[in-house]
A = this chain, B = another copy of it.
Amino acid sequence: MKITINQKNLLKALTTTERIVSRNPSLPILNNILLKTENGRLKVAATNLEIGINYYIGAKINETGEIAVPARIFSDFISNLGEDKITLVTKNNVLSLSTSKYKTQILGLDPKDFPIIPKIKGDNFSVIPSKILKNSLTAVFDSVAVSETRPELSGVYMSFSSNQVVFAATDSFRLTEKINELKHKEKNSLIIPRNTVTELIRLASDIQDDIAIKLGDNQVAFVTNDIEIVSRIIDGSYPDYKKVIPDKFISKTLVKKDELEKNVRLAGLFSSSIADIKLSCNEKNISLTAKNSDKGDIQVSIEAVLKNEPFDISINHHYLLDGLKIIPTEHVIIEYTGHGSPLVLRPEQVNKDLVYLIMPLRN
């Protein structure tokens, strides 16, 4: 390989790919980044065997070739260089870098040992604007189960029907569903692992373009002009979560979201493991109380508009805060659906595109 490349472009590719490089002592090749000339561009690739990223950048290619180089030292070096043209030459698995001022040799590994990142062929299964992908994944992310006890819950469920793409996640303590109206040909559904979701959110935040989705047997690829993220799909069938979302409510209250968020945070300081914090919703206000025998107690009241009967509920304040965080409107609707039933949070306009459920505390 003999190529010339712009430092800024190379650094951008490294910043993205390096994130998934694992510090894997048992499989040292995974600590490396693959550099490979491909169709007139340089491919910068990394994989942790669950996710693989291919990042393509423009380069002046004098001689094709490939090498695997340690991610850490390579990206430290490139990021400390000023903006400049860099010439990369490989010989016997050694990468020689030179710029107008520097001469460096980095010891690499045989690119043949680098794991293959599968290529998913065929047509795009779907195309999603990056903004919709980012907002939807961000909204449901907190509800993804952290534990792997039930593997199917440790990812985001994406379901495609003729005119909707639905995102859902639940860890069985709370549940988020985000519906997007989006024309689409085929029906299908898949579960994307948590770590892949994190990478997709970052990717979708960085770009403006649409993102194409390609489906393989056990793999899914998210593809733009320059970047491919290839991930395993979680095996298993997602629970029929729709039946958990109540279609009726007993009472509901409308309250300023920021005001409630701030006060839940304060009350949470005095939460106890038994009742956490308590919401009492009356005609004109919500009063929050918490009492902790080691710390003290708090009571605070904020304005709200109630429909139907007053209600009381004990609630996990962390889950409530996570829910309030994703409500995009100035006010939030809180629906009480009965003792032992979920508490439901919705944006102000009674639209059906976002819903957040907190399951009842078991006493």
Which residues of A come within 8 Å of B, CB atoms? Answer: 70, 73, 76-77, 80-82, 94-95, 101-107, 262, 265-266, 269-270, 294-302
Note all chain B residues with C-beta closer than 8 A to A300.
101-103
Q: Judge whether B103 and A73 touch: CB under 8 Å.
A: no
Query: When the two chains form the complex, which single residue of B76, B80, B104 contacts A262, counting CB atoms closer than 8 Å?
Result: B80
Q: Judge whether A104 and B298 touch: CB under 8 Å.
A: yes
Give 9 nearest A-B pairs by CB, closest first: A106-B296, A104-B298, A105-B296, A107-B296, A102-B300, A80-B266, A105-B297, A103-B299, A76-B269
- Complex alpha-carbon distance, A266 and B101, angstroms: 12
Given A101-B300, A101-B301, 4 further pairs, Cβ under 8 A: A80-B269, A94-B296, A104-B297, A105-B296
A291–chain B nearest beta-carbon distance, Å: 9
- Complex alpha-carbon distance, A36 and B267, angstroms: 26
How many copies of the polypeptide does the oligomer hold? Answer: 2
Q: A70-B295, A102-B300 are in contact. Are A269 and B77 (CB under 8 A)?
A: yes
Query: When the two chains form the complex, which single residue of B94, B106, B296 contacts A104, counting CB atoms closer than 8 Å?
Result: B296
* A-B contacts, 20 listed (Cβ < 8 Å): A73-B270, A73-B295, A76-B269, A77-B266, A80-B265, A94-B296, A95-B296, A101-B300, A101-B302, A102-B266, A102-B298, A102-B299, A103-B298, A103-B300, A104-B270, A104-B298, A105-B297, A107-B294, A107-B295, A107-B296
* Closest B residue, CB atoms, query A295: B73
- Complex alpha-carbon distance, A94 and B168, angstroms: 46
A73–chain B nearest beta-carbon distance, Å: 5
- Complex alpha-carbon distance, A296 and B93, angstroms: 11
- Complex alpha-carbon distance, A81 and B295, angstroms: 18
Note all chain B residues with C-beta closer than 8 A to A266.
77, 80-81, 102, 104
- Complex alpha-carbon distance, A31 and B104, angstroms: 52
A206–chain B nearest beta-carbon distance, Å: 27
- Complex alpha-carbon distance, A25 and B240, angstroms: 48
- Complex alpha-carbon distance, A73 and B266, angstroms: 10
Note all chain B residues with C-beta closer than 8 A to A295.
70, 73, 106-107
Note all chain B residues with C-beta closer than 8 A to A299.
102-104
A242–chain B nearest beta-carbon distance, Å: 37
- Complex alpha-carbon distance, A107 and B77, angstroms: 54
Note all chain B residues with C-beta closer than 8 A to A294.
107
- Complex alpha-carbon distance, A81 and B299, angstroms: 14
A161–chain B nearest beta-carbon distance, Å: 43
A100–chain B nearest beta-carbon distance, Å: 11
Note all chain B residues with C-beta closer than 8 A to A296.
73, 94-95, 104-107
A163–chain B nearest beta-carbon distance, Å: 44
- Complex alpha-carbon distance, A70 and B292, angstroms: 14
- Complex alpha-carbon distance, A96 and B107, angstroms: 65
* Closest B residue, CB atoms, query A297: B105
A255–chain B nearest beta-carbon distance, Å: 14
* Closest B residue, CB atoms, query A77: B269
Note all chain B residues with C-beta closer than 8 A to A102.
266, 298-300
Note all chain B residues with C-beta closer than 8 A to A302.
101
A281–chain B nearest beta-carbon distance, Å: 17
Q: Judge whether A73 and B106 touch: CB under 8 Å.
A: no
